[in-house]
Amino acid sequence: MTAGESSSARYSLQRESDTLTVGLHDAWALSAGLARPGPVIEALEASPRPRRLAFRAEGLASWDSSLVAFVHAVAAEARRRGLEVDTSALPEGAGKLLGLARAVPPEAAPPSAEDDSLLSRVGRVALAASATAGDALAFVGEMTLAFLAFLRGRARYRRVDLLHALEASGVAALGIVALINFLIGAVLAFVGAVQLAQFGATIYVADLVAVGITRELGALMTGIVMSGRTGASFAAVLGTMTVNEEVDALRTMGLRPVEFLVVPRVLATALMMPALVAYADLLGLLGGAFVAVVGLDLGTLQYLQQTRDALALRHVLIGLAKSVAFGAIVATSGCYYGIHCGRSAAAVGEATTRAVVTGILLVVVADAVFTVVCHVLQL
């Protein structure tokens, strides 16, 4: 006779000819942890193999789900090995619960497990990627048609939605855009000054800040902020509308969701982004000036003079041109993932995350493309 113990839950094993008997003793409680079925499984494997597994419960003081879970697991192992299982000696309630746990209705049978090999996983990822690419292409096509309808004045949308989107992606974003860009300007000035000071060229901090902010960082940082703010908001709102069947309701009313929901949002963001970036540029320059004048002891007039000399109109225009593209990218990403959201609360969260990650990624890729094109065109 051997014994297996786990905290206060206890059992012992007894082998008589071809029957293995599990004797259950004492109090079984979930709070004391689950009993390990290991010793029973070892005994099931022992040679000569038992042909019958029985349970005895004379010494059982009390029980809860921990006992049922243990017996269920052990009995399943025994049945898998072709043993006959006798649970008739268990308390009546435990026996009924075990019966319920085994009675799986046919329609509730779990789906067969997916093949988890590396090849299958790679295949699934590839198929999902190609499906997403197809969906995205169809979405962009649908959006293009919707924009053409808008330009011809035929798009069906509510003007108030466009105004709301203009506010959400414009005025409402001023605070965070201002803060981020002021700090980026300040950090750029500070980091640049440390390097330039080694050559006695601290005044060129003004050039660095002016060109860096207007041509590159103002638009880039605003694009990233807008992706996390407005792109996420669009994905969450449209995702929730999808879950609530509001998007289906639009379709059955004969309204195109892309025309009705996406066009106003993409248009509003693309229109507001240049204004936001112009504001971001100003705040970035101010951040740089603040560090230069307060921290680096450069004269205010001297700094402003240097900034004015460095600031060519083309740098500002390139930044603003980028901003229109970034706005369209951020809003399209948010709306795409919102409209293609699954039908659960978790799906809305996933859609929002994907919208933000894809939005930021595409903004940075677009920025790289702009940089290369500007370099080739010597702008």
- Interface residue with other proteins among 16, 135, 248, 309 (CB under 8 A) is 248
- Measured from the Cβ of residue 117, the count of other Cβ atoms closer than 10 Å reads 9
Check binding of 118 to other proteins (CB under 8 A).
no
Check binding of 84 to other proteins (CB under 8 A).
no
Check binding of 297 to other proteins (CB under 8 A).
no
Check binding of 241 to other proteins (CB under 8 A).
yes
- Interface residue with other proteins among 31, 117, 198, 252 (CB under 8 A) is 252
Pick the closer one to other proteins by CB: 5 or 161. 161
- Candidate segments 73-81, 93-101, 186-194, 248-256, binder of other proteins by CB under 8 A: 248-256
CB of 334 to other proteins, least distance (A): 16
- Candidate segments 43-51, 66-74, 155-163, 297-305, binder of other proteins by CB under 8 A: 155-163
Pick the closer one to other proteins by CB: 36 or 156. 156
Pick the closer one to other proteins by CB: 210 or 241. 241
- Candidate segments 168-176, 246-254, 322-330, 355-363, binder of other proteins by CB under 8 A: 246-254
Pick the closer one to other proteins by CB: 241 or 263. 241
Q: Which residues pair with 6 in a beta bridge?
A: 9
- Torsion of the alpha carbons at 335, 336, 340 and 345, rounded to the nearest 10: -40
Pick the closer one to other proteins by CB: 264 or 284. 264
Cα–Cα distances (Å) from 290 to 188, 199, 298, 308, in that order, read 11, 22, 10, 16
CB of 272 to other proteins, least distance (A): 19
In which order are the strands placed within the sheet that holds 19-27? 2-6, 9-16, 19-27, 52-62, 84-86
Cα–Cα distances (Å) from 94 to 85, 280, 323, 379, in that order, read 15, 68, 67, 80
Rounded to whole angstroms, how far apart are CA atoms 342 and 352?
12
Check binding of 79 to other proteins (CB under 8 A).
no
CB of 250 to other proteins, least distance (A): 8
Pick the closer one to other proteins by CB: 75 or 247. 247
- Interface residue with other proteins among 73, 255, 271, 286 (CB under 8 A) is 255
Rounded to whole angstroms, how far apart are CA atoms 18 and 110?
34
* Nearest to 210, CA basis, from 145, 285, 321: 285
- Pair 208, 192: CB distance under 8 Å: yes
Half-sphere CA count of 353, side-chain side, radius 13 A: 6
Which two tokens mark 358?
């894809």
Check binding of 48 to other proteins (CB under 8 A).
no
CB of 163 to other proteins, least distance (A): 12
Rounded to whole angstroms, how far apart are CA atoms 146 and 257?
10
Check binding of 245 to other proteins (CB under 8 A).
yes
CB of 108 to other proteins, least distance (A): 9
Check binding of 167 to other proteins (CB under 8 A).
no
Which two tokens mark 276?
């936001």
Check binding of 103 to other proteins (CB under 8 A).
no
- Interface residue with other proteins among 27, 150, 156, 324 (CB under 8 A) is 156
Q: At what angle do helices 65-80 and 38-45 cross, to 10 degrees?
A: 20
Residue 157's Cβ-count burial label (10 Å; 0-12, 13-18, 19+) is buried
- Candidate segments 140-148, 251-259, 346-354, 355-363, binder of other proteins by CB under 8 A: 251-259
Which two tokens mark 170?
């414009």
Residues within the interface to other proteins (CB under 8 A):
106-107, 156, 158, 161, 164, 241, 244-246, 248-249, 251-255
